[in-house]
C-alpha cells in the first residue's frame, strides 16, 4: 500500500497544476488579443468596384485592390476595420491623379489567417510593396498607422506618410486590456513575455520613439475628441518626428475623420506638396 502524500508533496503538486492552468489561461488570453473578431472577416474590397487581387506571401494570402493611375499610394486600415473605410480618401486621391492600393490586413477581409499583430502585418505590408513596386506615399488609420510605422522602421521606403488617429504605445494597450481581465504583476509580465515569443515586442512598439529616426515627410491627422486613440500621441509623435506636421480637428471622432471634406483635402494637398 502506498504511503499517503505529505503536505509538502501535495502543495508542490497542486502548485504545479495551478501554474500549468494559469499558463494555459495566459496563452489563451494572448491568442485572443491577436485574433480579430469574426466581423473583421467581412470582405469589402469588392465594394470598391474593381477586381480584387491576391498575393501569396510567407504569411499566406493578401487581398488588395488598385484604383487609378499615377504615383502609388498604399492605404492601410485599422484593427477590425476594412479597406472600404478608406474609400473616401482613395476616391479623392484617384481624382487628384494617384494610383491607390488598398489591402486587407492579415486575418481581415479576404486576406488569409486567423490572427495577426502589428509586426506581422508590417511584414505583410512590406511584401505588398515589394510586389507592386516603389511607392510615393502611405496613408493609414488607427492601428494601421502602427503597422505602417513598424514597416517604415523595418526599412519600407516612401516619400510621404499620413498617419490618421494613430495609437501610441502598445504596452499601454496590453496593460489596459490585461487589467480588465484581472491580470497584473507576474501575470502581466508573463503576457509580455508570451507576446515576445510570438514576435511582438510590446515595449518596442512605441510611436514617439519609432518616428524619431524618420527623415521623409509626415503628417499627423487627429480629432481632439477621439476616444479610441488619444490625440496626445499625435502631438508626441509630431514633436519627435522632425519633418512632420500635425492637423487637429475638434469633433470628428475616430472614424468620421476618414470622410470629412477638410481631411480629404488635407491628405491630397500634403501628398502633392513635393511635386
pLDDT of residue 7: 59
What beta strand segments (E) does the chain contain? 53-57, 60-67, 72-76, 99-103, 137-141, 160-164, 217-223, 244-249
Q: What is the pLDDT of residues 218-269, one digit of tens each?
A: 999 999 999 999 999 999 999 999 999 999 999 999 999 999 999 999 999 9
pLDDT of residue 275: 45
With CA atoms as reference, report the closest residue to 105 among 130, 129, 124: 124
What is the number of residues in the chain?
275
pLDDT of residue 204: 94
Whole-number Å distance between alpha carbons of 203 and 174: 10
Least confident range from 2-16, 69-83, 182-196: namely: 2-16
Q: What is the pLDDT of residues 66-114, one digit of tens each?
A: 999 999 999 999 999 999 999 999 999 999 999 999 999 999 999 999 9
pLDDT of residue 178: 93
DSSP characters for 1-14? -PPPPPHHHHHHHH
Q: Is pLDDT above 60 for 1?
A: no
pLDDT of residue 260: 96
Whole-number Å distance between alpha carbons of 106 and 112: 6
With CA atoms as reference, report the closest residue to 102 among 121, 80, 125: 125
Amino acid at each position: 500500500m502506498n504511503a499517503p502524500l505529505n503536505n509538502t508533496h501535495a502543495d508542490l503538486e497542486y502548485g504545479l497544476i495551478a501554474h500549468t492552468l494559469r499558463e494555459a489561461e495566459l496563452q489563451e488570453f494572448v491568442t485572443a488579443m491577436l485574433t480579430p473578431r469574426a466581423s473583421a472577416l467581412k470582405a469589402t474590397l469588392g465594394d470598391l468596384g474593381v477586381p480584387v487581387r491576391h498575393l501569396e506571401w510567407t504569411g499566406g494570402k493578401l487581398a488588395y485592390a488598385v484604383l487609378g493611375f499615377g504615383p502609388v499610394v498604399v492605404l492601410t486600415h485599422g484593427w477590425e476595420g476594412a479597406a472600404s473605410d478608406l474609400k473616401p480618401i482613395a476616391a479623392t486621391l484617384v481624382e487628384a491623379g494617384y494610383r491607390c492600393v488598398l489591402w486587407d490586413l492579415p486575418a481581415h477581409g479576404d486576406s488569409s489567417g486567423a490572427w495577426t499583430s502589428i509586426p506581422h502585418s508590417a511584414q505583410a505590408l512590406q511584401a505588398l510593396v515589394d510586389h507592386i513596386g516603389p511607392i510615393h506615399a502611405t496613408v493609414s488609420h488607427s492601428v494601421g498607422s502602427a503597422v505602417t510605422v513598424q514597416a517604415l522602421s523595418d526599412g519600407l521606403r516612401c516619400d510621404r506618410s499620413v498617419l490618421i488617429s494613430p495609437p501610441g504605445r502598445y504596452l499601454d494597450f496590453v496593460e489596459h486590456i490585461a487589467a480588465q481581465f484581472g491580470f497584473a504583476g507576474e501575470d502581466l509580465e508573463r503576457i509580455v513575455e508570451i507576446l515576445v515569443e510570438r514576435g511582438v515586442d510590446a515595449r518596442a512598439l512605441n510611436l514617439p520613439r519609432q518616428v524619431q529616426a524618420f527623415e521623409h515627410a509626415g503628417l499627423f491627422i487627429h480629432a481632439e475628441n477621439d476616444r479610441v486613440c488619444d490625440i496626445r500621441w499625435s502631438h508626441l509623435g509630431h514633436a519627435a518626428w522632425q519633418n512632420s506636421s500635425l492637423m487637429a480637428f475638434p469633433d470628428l471622432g475616430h472614424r468620421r475623420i476618414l470622410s470629412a471634406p477638410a481631411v480629404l483635402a488635407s491628405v491630397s494637398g500634403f501628398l502633392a506638396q513635393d511635386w
